[in-house]
Structure 1
Amino acid sequence: MDQTTKEAGKTMAIISYVTLIGTIIAYFSNQGDKKNEFVSFHIGQAVRIWILLFVLTIVVNILVFVTSIGALGYLSYIPFVLAVLGAINANSLKAEPVPVIGTIGG
C-alpha cells in the first residue's frame, strides 16, 4: 500500500470507527472502482470491534446478573478503547491490527 492510497482513504478509515452507521457508510463508499485497500483494512478492524461489542455486552450482562458484581460492567468499555486505537492508527496512516482481536478471522 503506497502513501497516496493511504492519504486518499484516511477520512473513510477514521469514519469506519466512529459508529456502526459510520462503518456501514465507509463500507458502501468503498465499493466498485473507488475501492481503497487502506479503507478496507480499517473497515475489517471496525467490524471485529462491533462484533466484540455485541458479544461482550451479552456476556458481561449475564456475568453481572449471575455474580452481582457490578464492576464487571466496566469490561463493556474495551471495544470503545479499541475503536479509539483503531482511529488513531487510521489517522496516523498505519495499517496495524487492533490488539487482541485484530487478527481474528482475517
Structure 2
Amino acid sequence: MLGTKDHEVDLIASIEGRLVPFEVKYRAQATGVGDLKGLAQFCGERNVERGYVITKNFDDFGTLPLGVPGMEVRVAKIPAPLACYWLGLAEVTAARSGDDLG
C-alpha cells in the first residue's frame, strides 16, 4: 500500500476486524525507526497501535516505538524463520479446526 508520500507497507492483514501491518526488511543490517516511515504513516492514518517487522537476522528481535505524533505505536521485530513458523502454525491450526484464516 502506498501512502501520500509514496511510503509503503508490504502486507496488511485483517485479523478479527483489526488491521495489522507487516513490513519486510530482509537484509543484514539492523532495522531502525528511520527504515519504517511507511509503517509509521499507515499506523498514524489508520489509528493502528501495533505492527510487525520481519527481519533477516535471528538476533534482530525486539520492539520499537514508532514515534507517531499523538499515538503510542509499537512494532515487534521478528526474525523471518520465526515469523514463517508462526504463520505456518496458524494455518495448520486453522485447517485442523475447520476455520478459514482468509
| Superposition TM-score, scaled by structure 1 size | 0.25
Structure with the higher fraction of residues in helix conformation: 1
Structure with the higher fraction of residues in strand conformation: 2
